[in-house]
DNA sequence: AAATTAACGCAACTCGGTTGCATCAAGAAG
DNA sequence: CTTCTTGATGCAACCGAGTTGCGTTAATTT
């Protein structure tokens, strides 16, 4: 079930993602917003925003959950599949606009794919 | 640091992977072997076997850690990069022999990639 | 056989994430 | 604007995967 009431906390989180240029880990969000809302609230709102097709989530290499804005998804059409890039030095994690063809596997039905690229970001390369 | 002594526990784990046809989650290994060794020992041996290039690990969609045998890796050459398939119904997780080209990203250095395909396995399709 | 030390068992811990429940506040109804 | 309904929140307790410290055990060297 998605968002029904536009509470103060929901608005705050939407604004944070509006201004973010990269993906955000839940851990960072909880820390950054711990004066404005409870960590349980952060988890629950992210959950609902994902159901709505407003956000999408993925796992980083370390097992932490990350969220980022969807481009053109709805609750029924959650098809914004794209790779992500995680910097192994500073941790910065971004959505890539790269198109990746999802390979098919014999005798199996592939519904979705998660491609995480790991390396060094622009700044950490210098 | 890798394996130095071939203890009973190390031999047991190597045998389990020798006979496995799919990847194994740490959680399952700990449960399956809890009469033969402590969970800490399972974690530590898997760690060392990965350092050796005997095993490789990856994260499932749920954030659990999975291990599987490497084919032709060593401690210095850990280059067995391949996609994995996880069944969203039964959880079975396998290494795929599919070749996947790792895309390059402008202004970034990509070291490695993790591609996890999610769908229905052979048995769960029926 | 004795010495060395890598590896193990155990208990306590860390931390990301969840749950139950009482309370609050968004928004519909009047 | 006030009242009512109930979705959303705060809080505390909990869960579970993974880690750490340390005393003991056993694989390997001498
Ligand atoms: Mn993304
Ligand atoms: Mn594999
Ligand atoms: Zn970086
Ligand atoms: Zn299956």
pLDDT at residue B76 in the model: 79
pLDDT at residue B73 in the model: 76
Above pLDDT 70, what percent of chain A? Answer: 98
* CA A71 – ligand 2 centroid, Å: 31
Tens digits of per-residue pLDDT, A60-82? 999 999 999 998 777 777 766 79
Residues B32, B36, B41, B45, CA torsion sign: negative
- The candidate with the shortest Cα–Cα distance to A84, out of B116, B24, B45, is B116
CA distance B97 to B114: 14
The answer to whether the CB of B66 falls within 8 A of the CB of B23 is yes
Using CB atoms, pick whichever of B88, B109, B116 lies closest to residue A120. Answer: B109
pLDDT tens digits, chain B, 126 residues: what are they? 799 999 999 999 999 999 999 999 999 999 999 999 999 999 999 999 999 999 999 999 999 999 999 987 777 777 767 999 999 999 999 999 988 888 999 999 999 999 999 999 999 998
Burial of A98 (0-12, 13-18, 19+ CB in 10 A): middle
Whether the CB of A4 is below 8 Å from some CB of chain B: the reply is no
Using CB atoms, pick whichever of B85, B102, B115 lies closest to residue A108. Answer: B85
Q: Which CATH code of 3.20.190.10, 3.40.50.2300, 1.10.533.10, 1.10.10.10 fits the domain covering A8-125?
A: 1.10.10.10
pLDDT at residue B29 in the model: 98
Tens digits of per-residue pLDDT, A16-36? 999 999 999 999 999 999 999
In whole angstroms, D4 C1' to A92 CA is 47
């Amino acid at each position: 079930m998605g968002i029904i009431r536009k509470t103060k906390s929901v608005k705050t989180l939407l604004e944070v993602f509006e201004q973010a240029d990269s993906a955000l880990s839940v851990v960072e969000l909880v820390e950054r917003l711990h004066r404005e809302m409870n960590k349980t609230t952060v988890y629950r709102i992210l959950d609902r925003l994902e159901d709505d097709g407003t956000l999408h989530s993925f796992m980083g290499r370390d097992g932490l959950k990350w969220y980022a804005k969807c481009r053109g998804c709805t609750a029924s059409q959650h098809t914004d599949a794209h790779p992500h890039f995680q910097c192994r030095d500073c941790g910065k994690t971004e959505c890539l606009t790269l198109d990746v063809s999802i390979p098919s596997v014999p005798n199996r039905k592939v519904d979705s794919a998660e491609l995480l690229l790991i390396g060094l970001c622009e700044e950490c390369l210098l």
